[in-house]
Structure 1
Amino acid sequence: MTSRMTRRFFLASTAAVSVARPALAQSQTVVEMLNKDPDNPRLRMVFSPRIVVVQPGDTVKFAATDPSHNSASIDGMLPEGAEAWNGKINEEIVVPFPTPGFYGYKCTPHAATGMVGLVIVEGAGMMANLEAAQGVKQRGRAAKVWEEIWAEVAEMEFATS
């Protein structure tokens, strides 16, 4: 009877791992849309974190933590073939990121105040749109925030294969 229970446990464990394996291949990152930065309350209208690094096929959930925000892609700041998104105000949106590259995004009503962020999808070809994304003209405080973001990116190391 002991060997039978062990065999059943083994078979059940193997089946559970086989079923769970595809779910482990993809993950979801949460970015909060906030009125105040949790680490520095003097900073207002922010995404937290403002830079995320994901793998192809992962999703990012932009959580409507505070009211009056959305997440929308920025024209010219997406890899070739990537789909743009435009979430509704006060609603969370889950965005898939299948293509390696740099994805700039904003809160539509607060972009000029610097409420912008970046999703980096690692993988082969990820650097193809970096220069174009960096060249997009930004307005207001967003220009300064993008300078800070690009400086952080320059210090990062990526898996490009």
Structure 2
Amino acid sequence: MIAAALMFAAGGAQAATHEVHMLNKGEAGTMVFEPAFIKAEPGDVVHFVSVDKGHNVESIEGMIPDGIEPFKSKPSEDFDLTVGQEGVYGVKCTPHYGMGMVALIEVGTPVNLDEAKAMKQRGKAKGRMADLFAQVE
């Protein structure tokens, strides 16, 4: 508690938490992350909530910043992802990827945007990911 107060008094920013729901059906259709686009800062936490069973969170190969280890959660479990570096992070639900269950996290400056955009998507994920890339600043 004292360390946090000292950090705040010294002008240190506190990490934010962004909550994302894993859903069978949401405002954007079926098999979705909501929200599917997250704008975060380095050190923030993206908290994925397993609202409906059978979903997980996995990094998409070629769609995470250099130096970030690939990640994959267990099905039907909440998952916290600390986004430690600037760039874009492509995320999928492994069993529902072809059905378009993808998300995109923009952290600070999207330094790996061109490489991430170059990765081929399959099924409905292709269109949904294109819509998400359109939101990157």
Higher relative contact order (CA 8 A, sep 6+): 2
Does the CA-based 8 Å contact 2:104-2:129 persist in structure 1?
A: no
Structure 1 residues 75 and 20: CA distance shift in structure 2, 3 A: same
Q: Which has the higher helix share?
A: 1
CA distance in 1, matches of 2:97, 2:40: 23
CA distance in 1, matches of 2:19, 2:76: 15
CA distance in 2, matches of 1:115, 1:17: 37
Match of 1:61 among 47, 61, 64: 47
Q: Which residue in 2 is equivalent to 1:89? A: 75
TM-score (norm 2): 0.89
Write the deviation string for residues 66-93 of structure 1: whole angstroms up to 9, x where unpaired. 1110010000001110121100000011
CA distance in 2, matches of 1:32, 1:139: 22
Match of 2:5 among 1, 18, 21: 18
Q: Which residue in 1 is equivalent to 2:23? A: 34
Q: Which amino acid in 1 is paired with 2:64?
A: L
Q: Which has the higher strand share?
A: 2
Deviation at 1:127, TM superposition (A): 3.2
Among the aligned pairs, what percent are the same residue?
37
- 2:135 is equivalent to residue 152 of structure 1: yes
| Helix, strand or coil at the partner of 1:112 | coil
| Helix, strand or coil at the partner of 1:94 | strand
Give me the CA root mean square deviation. Answer: 2.0
Matched positions, count: 134
Gaps of at least 5 residues in structure 2 are none
Gaps of at least 5 residues in structure 1 are 1-14, 157-161
Deviation at 1:19, TM superposition (A): 4.9
Q: Which runs of 4+ in 1 moved over 4 A?
A: none
Q: Which amino acid in 2 is paired with 1:118?
A: L
CA distance in 1, matches of 2:21, 2:130: 21
Tell which structure's C-alpha radius of gyration is larger. 1
